[in-house]
Amino acid sequence: MLRRSLLCRGLDQAELRLVAASLRTVKFAPGQVVMKQGDTGRSMFIVLHGRVRITIERDRRPPRLLAYLGPGEHFGDMVLLGDGVRSATVTAVVDTELLELDREQFNQLLLTVPEFSANLGRTLVSRLRQEMTRRRRRERPTVIGLVNTSARTRAIAGQLAAALLAKGEAVEVLTDREEELTPLRCLVERIPAGLPLDKRAPTVRERIQQVAQHHHRVLLDVTQAGTPAELAELLAPCEEVWWLSESRYAEGAANRLRELAGAAADLAARTHWIWILRKDERFSPTLPFELPIARPDFKVTLDDDPQRTSRRQRHSLDRLVRHLRGTRLGVALGGGAARGLAHLGALRVLDREGIHFDLVAGTSSGALMGLAYCGGWRPDVALEELKRALTPARLFRALPGGLQWYLWSNFRRAAWERMLRPYLGDARLEQLAVPLSVLAVDLVQGVQVVRDRGDAINAVMESINLPYLSRPIMRDGMALVDGGVLNNLPGDVLPERGADFVVAIDVVAKLPADFGRRKRPRILETLMRVTDVQAFGTSALRAGSIDLLIAPDTSAYQFADFSRATELAEAGEKAAQEVLPQLKQLLAELEADATPDRK
């Protein structure tokens, strides 16, 4: 087994025997703490059998999951190289055997086995590189518990297994269902129905431990039946639990999960709520009350016909799979008033190529386009709806400077909200299919404000609220104006929220060249130009967080050219097509990194 450890890679037989002689075996039961953050330590560990979970606590917040480690992987080495204080808490997930190496033996190996020292250095460099490039090693759980709260949620196990198999993963499903699972190319094993309750959890735990040694994923597919304590014991080996609920059964499912949280807080902290939506449900409900569970939740659309999957179903299942494989794609949509319509052309190309995102951040008009994307509208449908809603009346188009006056008029009459509210009603950001972060600026504190919860339309109104044309929106003790004042291209927001790869679409990368060429600009034109220049400058400042930039040339269009939506979208489409080969190559590299070794 030591040959599988990164620490022992390249060691000859004599060196391996020397390392083995320096180790002692220690055993831990599921849920038992191996080491606790803040404690003093004098040893490190290599996983021999089983799995451990690493968490970290900061600022009295709930523990944050860093990673799961399995056979051959090591932890605790930093305490031997640093101040001797444990920087994280490590807990056994299943019955686990570890090989412990104390400080004295560790120091001796550094002196006598040069390749051991070199391997240790390589792992430290790898961790540092991940931090510097934001390619952090994410949790990639092997054992996932799927708790079904209705008959319809049962479809997830088969579809998830099929999606993972298509990625080249070895998958087994352990299930308590009696009916046949959709035919799959993976092993489906039934939990014996006649098992006494006191034998059920130990039998399942032992079987999971055996299966996990030969499979990348084990899906434990069960109902919510049993007492909270019995269900907690059954799910204890799961590194992550998905609580599957339809909208109509949400209250009962939430009450059941609250009972489970009371019996096993640690289990609840690694449980995600998964909304199972019907095709006609654009937005999920909100939970009836707060639950002490992991974020984020996920929304999965399930079609009634399993043979004909919709775009929304494919996208939502892909997001679940990427979550399990430890990769998250983010897109940042910059501000630019009417030129923000170019976002929809770029997104249309990516959507056509099967490239979609797990996280979105938007500023100003980018927040508006992001709202349409995260709300589940196809880019071409959103374009047509926005073109119809935003095109100025003929009177404004005929007047000198009429487009600027149209913009000013809409702010003064609060017309933007009246245009958008019929499409979204009172939907909240947390109900959207894809998480959306919306940026505004608080003039009281002089800081950017990032909304990812609350009324979706209110958040967008804050983000598009141009300070030259409208008074600040007073809310929550803040005076809120357009987010582009401080951050017009919010690529830096996405890594903070878990994105591993960030695409940014900058619709003001090139300023219009005709300003002031023919005649002295009017006041409104000047104010619009000031906004353009400000956006141009702040976008350049945030470029360090971006992996790939799409920069449509919108310099031929004015700040308020809403009537030219089709042409703006074509500019966005052209820019996306130009970088598409590069984007595909980068995503292929990311996918290769997420693909586990063969079992």
Question: Position of tokens 């979970």?
Answer: 53
For 174, residues 6+ apart whose C-beta sits below 8 A from its C-beta are 189, 190, 191, 204, 207, 208, 211, 218, 219, 220, 221
The predicted structure's pLDDT at residue 374: 96
The more confident residue out of 488 and 134 is 488
Residues 86-131: tens digit of each pLDDT: 989 999 887 789 999 999 999 999 999 999 999 888 888 877 766 6
Retrieve residue 477's tokens.
Answer: 């003790």
The more confident residue out of 533 and 364 is 364
The closest of 306, 251, 302, 304 to 273, measured between CA atoms, is: 251
The secondary structure of 529-594 as a DSSP string is HHHHHHHHHHHHHTGGG-SEEE----TTS-TT-GGGHHHHHHHHHHHHHHHHHHHHHHHHHHHHHH
Coil, strand or helix: which one is 14?
helix
- Asked if residue 331 lies in contact with residue 357, where contact means CB atoms within 8 angstroms, the answer is yes
Q: What is the mean pLDDT of residues 496-505?
A: 90
Strands (E), 50-168: 52-56, 64-69, 74-75, 89-92, 96-102, 143-148
The predicted structure's pLDDT at residue 537: 64
Question: Position of tokens 């304590």?
Answer: 229
Q: Is the predicted pLDDT of residue 318 greater than 90, yes or no?
A: yes
Q: What is the mean pLDDT of residues 502-508?
A: 93
The more confident residue out of 213 and 242 is 242
Backbone angles phi, psi at 5, to 5 degrees: -80, 135
228-235 and 197-212 are packed helices; what angle lies between their axes, rounded to 10 degrees? 20
The predicted structure's pLDDT at residue 291: 93
The closest of 252, 184, 187, 196 to 224, measured between CA atoms, is: 252
pTM: 0.81
For 102, residues 6+ apart whose C-beta sits below 8 A from its C-beta are 42, 43
Retrieve residue 495's tokens.
Answer: 């890594």
> Residues 307-313: contacts with CB within 8 Å, 24+ apart?
310/279, 311/378, 312/279, 312/376, 312/433
Calculate what percentage of the chain has a pLDDT beyond 70: 87
The predicted structure's pLDDT at residue 296: 87
Q: What is the mean pLDDT of residues 497-517?
A: 82
Q: What is the mean pLDDT of residues 220-233?
A: 92
Q: Is the predicted pLDDT of residue 29 greater than 70, yes or no?
A: yes
Residues 70-85: tens digit of each pLDDT: 888 899 998 898 888 9
Q: Is the predicted pLDDT of residue 184 greater than 70, yes or no?
A: no
State the CB neighbour count (10 A cutoff) for residue 306: 12
- Asked if residue 328 lies in contact with residue 500, where contact means CB atoms within 8 angstroms, the answer is yes
Please report, as a single letter, which amino acid is at residue 353.
E
Residues 426-466: tens digit of each pLDDT: 999 999 999 999 999 999 999 999 999 999 999 999 999 98
Q: Is the predicted pLDDT of residue 341 greater than 60, yes or no?
A: yes
Provide the residue count of the chain. 599
Please report, as a single letter, which amino acid is at residue 550.
I
The predicted structure's pLDDT at residue 334: 94
Cα 230 to Cα 243: distance, rounded to the nearest angstrom:
16
- Asked if residue 528 lies in contact with residue 515, where contact means CB atoms within 8 angstroms, the answer is no
Cα 75 to Cα 394: distance, rounded to the nearest angstrom:
68
> Residues 38-41: contacts with CB within 8 Å, 24+ apart?
38/85, 38/86, 39/85, 39/86, 40/84, 40/85, 40/86, 41/76, 41/79, 41/80, 41/84, 41/85, 41/86
Cα 191 to Cα 193: distance, rounded to the nearest angstrom:
6
Cα 257 to Cα 331: distance, rounded to the nearest angstrom:
33
Coil, strand or helix: which one is 13?
helix
The more confident residue out of 545 and 190 is 190
The predicted structure's pLDDT at residue 352: 94
Q: Is the predicted pLDDT of residue 134 greater than 60, yes or no?
A: no
Q: What is the mean pLDDT of residues 496-508?
A: 91
Backbone angles phi, psi at 93, to 5 degrees: -90, -40
The predicted structure's pLDDT at residue 112: 92
In the chain, how long is the greatest CA-to-CA distance? 88
State the CB neighbour count (10 A cutoff) for residue 4: 15
R_g of the chain computed on alpha carbons: 27
3-state SS record for 292-353: CCCCCCEEEECCCCCCCCCHHHHHHHHHHHHHHHCCCEEEEECCCHHHHHHHHHHHHHHHHC
Q: In what order do the strands lie in the sheet with 217-223?
A: 187-190, 171-175, 217-223, 143-148, 240-246, 271-277, 298-301
CA dihedral for 379, 382, 388, 390, sign (positive or negative) = negative
Strands (E), 463-537: 473-475, 478-482, 501-505
The secondary structure of 410-470 as a DSSP string is HHHTTHHHHHHHHHHTT-BGGGSSS-EEEEEEETTTTEEEEE-SSBHHHHHHHHT--TTTS
Q: Is the predicted pLDDT of residue 389 greater than 80, yes or no?
A: no
Q: What domains, with CATH codes, occur in the chain? A: 2-134 (2.60.120.10), 143-303 (3.40.50.300), 326-594 (3.40.1090.10)
> Residues 67-72: contacts with CB within 8 Å, 24+ apart?
67/137, 67/138, 67/139, 67/140, 68/93, 68/139, 68/140, 68/141, 68/142, 68/239, 70/142, 70/212, 71/1, 71/4, 71/47, 71/213, 72/1, 72/4, 72/5, 72/6, 72/46, 72/47
Retrieve residue 343's tokens.
Answer: 């976002």
Cis peptide leading into residue 141 (ω within 30°): no
For 389, residues 6+ apart whose C-beta sits below 8 A from its C-beta are 419, 420
The closest of 280, 277, 273, 326 to 295, measured between CA atoms, is: 273
Q: Is the predicted pLDDT of residue 182 greater than 80, yes or no?
A: no
228, containing H or E segment = helix 228-235
Cα 215 to Cα 236: distance, rounded to the nearest angstrom:
19
